[in-house]
Chains A and B, each alone.
Chain A
Amino acid sequence: MGSDLDRQIQTLLQCKIITEAEVKDLCLKAREILVEESNVQRVDAPVTVCGDIHGQFHDLKELFKVGGECPKTNYLFMGDFVDRGHHSVRYPDRITLIRGNHESRQITKVYGFYDECFQKFGSANVWRYCCEIFDYLSLSAIIDDRIFCVHGGLSPSINTIDQIRTIDRMQEVPHNGAMCDLLWSDPDPDSCTGWGLSPRGAGFLFGESVAKPFLHNNGLELIARAHQLVMEGYKLMFDEQVVTVWSAPNYCYRCGNVAAILEVDSNLNREYTIFKDSDRSSMNSRTTPQREGPPDYFL
């Protein structure tokens, strides 16, 4: 079994796809691991925290070059692995993954992952296996009880980390409620009311007057999250107590942004590293400037 996995990893690293049967098998194995994880997965520092990837495979390889190869470096990815980019259907090795708003059946049907699976495998089966796995992903992570990591943000239904542990997470992302808010909310530096409805149509906007008490009451020093494109790769807010980390450089192969990762050492010191898109990715964007139909398979 060990050599099978190695062979599959090698195939994937060459940006080639594995068979549907292999995907099904991997998903079953992944489920066994994920079902044991908590809604608030404990992670020990040192660890490198990453934001949205959105299927930008070659840029993910770039990320591993910059941050150090897994498993020598511990990684925590804050969701949104799929949709948009052309290579959502491959991920090597075990690292801590938490769920993003795109790890959802409804969203992947609109934003590209469903189409990509159908195009590459000829049926909806691989998409279904992956969506089942998404249901098992943790909702959040906590590094040494001090740094709280979630894809979107806070919820008016959640005041303590313990409340997150009581959520029944193994389901499709609901349209409202605590689980939805954690994956959809955004911090709002201009907020004067604390909470507001989100312009996204799900989740909330939360201000400093909500974030700071949450940090204080839960003994946290930082909330790390992703979910919003940041041109400079990362953005600090609320006296550096909330940070957005975005890890898809030149998003959609045309935004021209840089990406970032957050390296947390064993003393919880934080360092942000910026990186640009890989050569393979920028080649792709030069040859296909405007995307209309389902993404082409690019080798």
Chain B
Amino acid sequence: MSTSERVLQNNHLRHREGLTTVSHDWTMVKAGSLVEKQTLVTIDADATVEDACEVLLKNGITSAPVYDSVKKLYVGMFDYGDLMTYLLLLLKKMDVPLEDQSLEMRDLIQRTSRSQNVPVKLASAHGDLSGKDPFCTVLEETRLGAVVHDFGTGIHRVAVMDAEGNMKGILSQSSTLDYLMRHLSEYPQLQPVMQKSLQQCGLSNGRVLSVNGDEKVLDALISMSTNSVSSLAVLDEQGVLLGNISMTDIKHIMKNLRTSWLWITCFQLVCKIRLSQGVESGEDQYPVLDVNAKSTFGYTLSKLQATKAHRMWVVNDSGCAVGVVSLTDVFRVLSRLIDTDD
């Protein structure tokens, strides 16, 4: 066991002394209890896509439910994936001339859609424009075991509703992982899987969807959309991992209204984002977030939690990407535990 893993195992076991002998079953935790203190941010169904994007940026969130005040119901979720799909649809309609490549995002959208403001309810119809990640609801009483099952099939977040149909909050894969890791010592049933290596969990290799560092950002976004994935590994000619590009990176393009960032290379985007994040937080981050086949499941989860990343790339000794562990993969493994217990 590496030093990191020993240190983390000590952390997870540290609070066990003094607890009662009643074993808590993590699968029985109610969804409602995880969203208790949440402030809900919603987007009006008639808002423009550009306005909706601004709501996400301003609140530092990656998605928000869309509310139709006429019909008085929620019609879907809007996230950066939807924004990306919308943008690509517009851009695919015509070649964007060179002089338009540095326009502000708002202007570009106006130009390409011929000044027709597309309301966000169309962009997020039937759950969302991208067709993936349907608008899923659960009740406050729904147990975590069921939610984790949904997460394991690729649903990134669920809306938690009360008995009257009011939305109490959004429960995401990230916030659920964070909860489980902070309370790990209360759930001894999870200890065995935490000790397994990624290899033992069947997560150490798999298809790595990637883009070369020299390819343009726009092409990478198109590739993500075509392949229905939310990120791509950015590799050099030898297959060494340089960083990654994900759908949420589109927020950096929006934030600075820098559409010109669509036409720079993927490696340049990785650098710009790292530089920008480093100045904002006063701390520079390591450019690649990775683990290897021998890393434990628990270590991988701790690193996902600490870095707030949605995936860890699995690299070999030469630094080449050989697999990926996404939050969906994590929850698939956890939901398999429930199935085998039954």
A8 in contact (CB, < 8 A):
no
B289 in contact (CB, < 8 A):
yes
- A199 engages B308 (CB within 8 Å): yes
Residue of B243, B283, B286, B289 ringed by the most chain A CB atoms within 10 A: B286
- A111 engages B7 (CB within 8 Å): no
Residue of A nearest to B302 (CB): A197
Residue of B nearest to A101 (CB): B284
B8 in contact (CB, < 8 A):
yes
A194 contact set on B, CB distance < 8 A: 11
Contact A107 to B287, CB < 8 A, known contacts A156-B4, A197-B8: yes
- A193 engages B11 (CB within 8 Å): yes
- A201 engages B285 (CB within 8 Å): yes
- B286 engages A195 (CB within 8 Å): no
Min distance, Cβ A235 to any Cβ of chain B, angstroms: 11
- A110 engages B11 (CB within 8 Å): no
Min distance, Cβ B284 to any Cβ of chain A, angstroms: 7
B287 contact set on A, CB distance < 8 A: 106-107, 110
Q: Which of B286-304 touch A at CB < 8 Å?
A: 286-290, 302-303
B196 in contact (CB, < 8 A):
no
Complex CA distance for A113 and B8, rounded to whole angstroms: 35
Binary contact track B255-286/A, C-beta < 8 Å → 1, others 0: 00010000000000011101100110011111
A202 contact set on B, CB distance < 8 A: 286
- B284 engages A198 (CB within 8 Å): no
Contact A200 to B14, CB < 8 A, known contacts A111-B275, A176-B4: no
Partner-binding segment picked from A65-73, A127-135, A249-257, A277-285: A249-257
Complex CA distance for A175 and B318, rounded to whole angstroms: 12
Complex CA distance for A46 and B293, rounded to whole angstroms: 49
Binary contact track A213-232/B, C-beta < 8 Å → 1, others 0: 00000000000000111100
B288 contact set on A, CB distance < 8 A: 201
Contact A156 to B3, CB < 8 A, known contacts A112-B275, A196-B306, A229-B282: yes
B307 in contact (CB, < 8 A):
yes
Residue of A nearest to B258 (CB): A292
With beta carbons under 8 angstroms apart, the residue of A111, A155, A200 that contacts B283 is A200
How many B residues touch A, CB cutoff 8 Å? 33
Min distance, Cβ A236 to any Cβ of chain B, angstroms: 17
Contact A195 to B284, CB < 8 A, known contacts A84-B275, A251-B279: no
Contact size class for A?
35 or more
Q: Which of B1-20 touch A at CB < 8 Å?
A: 2-4, 6-8, 10-11, 14
- B7 engages A204 (CB within 8 Å): yes
Residue of A102, A175, A184 ringed by the most chain B CB atoms within 10 A: A175
Residue of B nearest to A255 (CB): B279
With beta carbons under 8 angstroms apart, the residue of A101, A111, A184, A254 that contacts B274 is A111
Binary contact track B27-39/A, C-beta < 8 Å → 1, others 0: 0000000000000
Complex CA distance for A123 and B165, rounded to whole angstroms: 64
Min distance, Cβ A88 to any Cβ of chain B, angstroms: 14
- B283 engages A193 (CB within 8 Å): no
Min distance, Cβ B4 to any Cβ of chain A, angstroms: 7
With beta carbons under 8 angstroms apart, the residue of B3, B4, B8, B271 that contacts A110 is B271
Residue of A nearest to B319 (CB): A175
Min distance, Cβ B234 to any Cβ of chain A, angstroms: 11
Residue of A107, A198, A199 ringed by the most chain B CB atoms within 10 A: A199
Complex CA distance for A195 and B274, rounded to whole angstroms: 25
Residue of A nearest to B278 (CB): A111
B3 contact set on A, CB distance < 8 A: 155-157, 177
A175 contact set on B, CB distance < 8 A: 286, 290
With beta carbons under 8 angstroms apart, the residue of A101, A110, A200, A228 that contacts B270 is A110
- B306 engages A199 (CB within 8 Å): yes
Q: Which of A164-180 touch B at CB < 8 Å?
A: 175-177
A186 in contact (CB, < 8 A):
yes
B286 contact set on A, CB distance < 8 A: 175, 184, 200-202
Min distance, Cβ B108 to any Cβ of chain A, angstroms: 18
With beta carbons under 8 angstroms apart, the residue of A157, A198, A251 that contacts B306 is A198
5 A-B pairs with least C-beta separation: A229-B282, A201-B286, A197-B306, A202-B286, A193-B11
